[in-house]
Amino acid sequence: MSKTIRSILSLLLALIIIFPILYCFSASLFARTDFSTSPARFLPTTVTFSNYARAFKASNLARFLVNSLICATVGTFLRMSISLFSAYSLTMFHYKGRYALFIIIIATMLLPGDALLIQNYVTIQRLGLTDTYLGLISTSLLAPTSIFILRQFFLTVSKEYREAAYLEGCSDTRFMVTLLIPMSQSLIVALTVQSFIQIFNDYLWPLLVTNSEMMRTVQVGITMLGFSESFDYGPQFAAMATLMCPMLILFIVFRKKIYEGVSTRFSGR
């Protein structure tokens, strides 16, 4: 197959693949009647932004967003801190059972979280943490993959650095903050972004753990916006389009870095 044909074909397929994204933006501008016409429409009859206004004013969408942002930010901070300190402990010290403890942490990757939902829910309920931010982020705080990757990197850092800093009375935290983190910054940035996205996009756990409308996260809230009158899908699409924008922009702007990051994972290991 010639290169030109391949290129054209790949572009065609790419456009088909992103069609739902385009449709979302288009549908966010639909008037209510645009949804009930037969045959179904691709483009709005007239462009109306009222859906966006309604989505934010007539529902708790803003609150949902705030909840998601709080969970993602605080959760990521705690998660990265725990991962950093864990990897630090596993590499910068020598003690009995160091490797065994590492395996214990890593082995959790074999246990799929979804199969543990019932028990984790009971745990959170017994602790009284349903409908709380802590309850929402609790299952996202352990990141065995991050610990694995950070440990991998820290192992390459010469022990002498730490010995020297230690002799000068440098505390562990200071050492990490002033030395280790800057050294591994691209790695940490990648892990932080990935963690933020993962917690922000979580659906099933937040659904089960929150009952109160005020504590809903945006991924769950978007399925229950409350515009249940027939064919009133506009505000939902407007909300989804808004939600998508930052991520889409990120992916388009940083596409090179994303591909590179994945490539290095292959050669780096």
Question: Closer CB to other proteins, residue 191 or residue 215?
Answer: 215
Question: Closer CB to other proteins, residue 53 or residue 245?
Answer: 245
Least distance in Å: CB of 187 to other proteins? 17
Question: Closer CB to other proteins, residue 173 or residue 178?
Answer: 173
Per-residue 3-state assignment (H helix, E strand, C coil) for 57-103: HCCCHHHHHHHHHHHHHHHHHHHHHHHHHHHHHHHHCCCCCHHHHHH
Least distance in Å: CB of 76 to other proteins? 14
Least distance in Å: CB of 8 to other proteins? 6
Least distance in Å: CB of 37 to other proteins? 8
Q: Residue 16 and residue 133: Cα distance in Å, rounded?
A: 39
Enumerate residues 6+ apart whose C-beta is below 8 A from 198.
Answer: 140
First to last CA, the chain: 34
Least distance in Å: CB of 236 to other proteins? 7
Helices (H), 168-254: 172-175, 181-183, 185-201, 204-209, 218-221, 234-253
Burial category of 261 from C-beta neighbours within 10 Å (exposed 0-12, middle 13-18, buried 19 and up): middle
Question: Closer CB to other proteins, residue 165 or residue 248?
Answer: 248
Structure tokens at 212: 């109160």
Question: Closer CB to other proteins, residue 17 or residue 167?
Answer: 17
